[in-house]
Amino acid sequence: MYDRIKGFRDFYPEEMAARRETIDTLEDTARRYGFREIGTPALERAEMWTDKSGDDIVEELYAFEDQGGRHVTLTPELTPTVARMVVAKQQELSKPIKWFSTRPFWRYEQVQQGRQREFYQTNVDIFGSAEPEADAEILAWAADALTNLGLTGEHFEFRISHRDILGGVLETYDAEVDTDDAIRAVDKSDKLSTAEYHDLLVEAGLDYDQAAEFDDLVAGGDLEEVKAFAETERVTDAVENLQAVLAAAEDFGAREYCTISLETARGLDYYTGVVFECFDSTGEVSRSVFGGGRYDDLIEGFGGQPTPAVGVAPGHATLSLLCQRAGVWPDEELTTDYYVLQIGDTRTEAARITQTLRDRGHVVETDVAGRSFGAQLDYADSINAETVVIVGEQDLANDELTIKDMETGDQTQVPVDEFPGDRDRPTFDDFA
Amino acid sequence: MYDRIKGFRDFYPEEMAARRETIDTLEDTARRYGFREIGTPALERAEMWTDKSGDDIVEELYAFEDQGGRHVTLTPELTPTVARMVVAKQQELSKPIKWFSTRPFWRYEQVQQGRQREFYQTNVDIFGSAEPEADAEILAWAADALTNLGLTGEHFEFRISHRDILGGVLETYDAEVDTDDAIRAVDKSDKLSTAEYHDLLVEAGLDYDQAAEFDDLVAGGDLEEVKAFAETERVTDAVENLQAVLAAAEDFGAREYCTISLETARGLDYYTGVVFECFDSTGEVSRSVFGGGRYDDLIEGFGGQPTPAVGVAPGHATLSLLCQRAGVWPDEELTTDYYVLQIGDTRTEAARITQTLRDRGHVVETDVAGRSFGAQLDYADSINAETVVIVGEQDLANDELTIKDMETGDQTQVPVDEFPGDRDRPTFDDFA
Mark A14-50 as b/e (b = at least 16 C-beta within 10 Å). Answer: ebbbbbbebbebbbebbbbbbbbbbbbbbbbbbebbe
Task: Give the separation between CA B162 and CA B331, rounded to whole angstroms.
Answer: 39
* pLDDT above 70 for A54: no
Task: Give the separation between CA A167 and CA B26, rounded to whole angstroms.
Answer: 51
* Crossing angle of helices B233-251 and B163-170, rounded to 10°: 160
Q: Which of A32, A33, A107, A123 is the mutation pick for testing B, counting most B CBs within 10 A? A: A32
On the 0-12 / 13-18 / 19+ scale of CB atoms within 10 A, A432 is exposed
Q: Which residue has the higher pLDDT, A91 or A338?
A: A338
Does B47 reach chain A within 8 Å, measured CB to CB?
Answer: yes
Instruction: Determine if the peptide bond prior to B13 is cis (ω within 30°).
Output: no
Query: What is the tens place of the pLDDT at every residue in A348-369?
Result: 999 999 999 999 999 999 999 9
From chain B, pick out residues whose CB is under 8 angstroms from the CB of A19: 39
Of the candidates A329, A350, A348, A323, the one whose C-alpha atom is nearest the C-alpha of residue A338 is A350
B330 and B397 Cβ atoms separated by less than 8 Å: no
Report the 10 Å Cβ neighbour count for B307.
23
Predicted local distance difference test score (pLDDT) of residue A175: 79
Tell me the nearest-neighbour CA distance from A131 into chain B, angstroms: 5
* pLDDT above 90 for B312: yes
Query: What is the tens place of the pLDDT at every residue in B359-384?
Result: 999 999 999 999 999 999 999 999 99
Q: How far is CA A295 from the centre of its chain?
A: 19
Complex prediction ipTM: 0.94
H or E stretch covering B79: helix B79-88
Residue range A154-168: average pLDDT? 93
Count the alpha carbons within 13 Å of A397 in the hemisphere toward its beta carbon.
5
Task: Give the separation between CA A230 and CA A205, rounded to whole angstroms.
Answer: 18
Query: What is the tens place of the pLDDT at every residue in B128-181?
Result: 999 999 999 999 999 999 999 999 999 999 999 998 999 899 999 987 899 888
Query: What is the tens place of the pLDDT at every residue in B203-253?
Result: 999 999 999 999 999 999 999 999 999 999 999 999 999 999 999 999 999
* pLDDT above 60 for B268: no
What are the phi and psi torsion angles at B414 (to 5°)? -135, 140
Instruction: Name the A residues in 333-372 with CB < 8 Å from any B CB.
Output: 334, 336, 347-348, 351, 355, 358, 361-365, 367-370
Residue range B309-337: average pLDDT? 95
Residue range B307-316: average pLDDT? 96
Q: Is the dihedral of CA B421, A141, A165, A154 positive or negative?
A: positive
Query: What is the tens place of the pLDDT at every residue in A208-250?
Result: 999 999 999 999 999 999 999 999 999 999 999 999 999 999 9
Q: Is the dihedral of CA B54, B55, B59, B62 positive or negative?
A: positive
Q: Which residue type does B36 have?
A: R
Tell me the nearest-neighbour CA distance from A225 into chain B, angstroms: 28
Contacts A–B by Cβ distance under 8 A: 258
Task: Give the separation between CA B35 and CA B49, rounded to whole angstroms.
Answer: 26
Alpha carbon separation from B312 to B137, B145, B274, B289 (Å, rounded): 11, 12, 12, 11
Of the candidates A317, A261, A271, the one whose C-alpha atom is nearest the C-alpha of residue A296 is A271
Inter-chain contact A10–B48, Cβ cutoff 8 Å? no
Predicted local distance difference test score (pLDDT) of residue A356: 96
Alpha carbon separation from B237 to A305, B43, B177 (Å, rounded): 68, 39, 21
Lateral strand order in the sheet of A411-415: A364-366, A336-343, A385-392, A400-405, A411-415
Predicted local distance difference test score (pLDDT) of residue B57: 81
Domains defined along chain B, listed by start: 13-171+232-326 (3.30.930.10), 336-431 (3.40.50.800)
Inter-chain contact B133–A13, Cβ cutoff 8 Å? no
DSSP state, residue A51: T
Predicted local distance difference test score (pLDDT) of residue A136: 98
Predicted local distance difference test score (pLDDT) of residue B54: 62
What are the phi and psi torsion angles at A15 (to 5°)? -65, -40
Tell how strand B411-415 and strand B71-74 pair up: unpaired
Task: Give the separation between CA A358 and CA A276, rounded to whole angstroms.
Answer: 46
